[in-house]
Amino acid sequence: MAVIRNPKVNASPHAVSGKAKDDVLLSRCEYKSAVTRKSLTVHHVQRRLIELGYTEVVAEKDGWYADATRDAVAKFQATIGVDATGIMDAATFTALFAGDPNVTVLLD
């Protein structure tokens, strides 16, 4: 996993297969955002949470950061020893995707 601060966002199509990677942007992890209602980043957050055993997010695996995703993020935060707010911050975002070969983390 690569972490890039203040990135220029790549507008290329997203597809995780083979050696392809998707960009995940911290700014796209807004709780109940009307602007980013469906987000590839949030879809990856949900995928990663499920991979790590936070299965309560399965019912909400739709790319929208709503209640089940917030609850799963809070449990993940408690596990890694940060404030369990359920709100995505840079430390949580980076820890969540540590070791994930499918994404490049962008801290925008």
pLDDT tens column, 61-80: 889 999 999 999 999 999 99
Check if the beta carbon of residue 2 is closer than 8 Å to that of residue 103.
no
pTM of the complete model:
0.81
Q: What is the mean pLDDT of the chain?
A: 85
Cα–Cα distance, 36 to 79 (Å, whole number): 27
- Rg (C-alpha) for the chain, rounded Å, is 13
19 pLDDT band, cuts 50/70/90, is low
Check if the beta carbon of residue 30 is closer than 8 Å to that of residue 36.
yes
- Torsions phi, psi for 103 (to 5 deg): -135, 160
Scan for tokens 């909400």, then name that residue.
Answer: 60
Q: Report the pLDDT value the prediction gives residue 60, as an integer from 0 to 100.
A: 84
Statement: residue 34 has pLDDT above 90: no
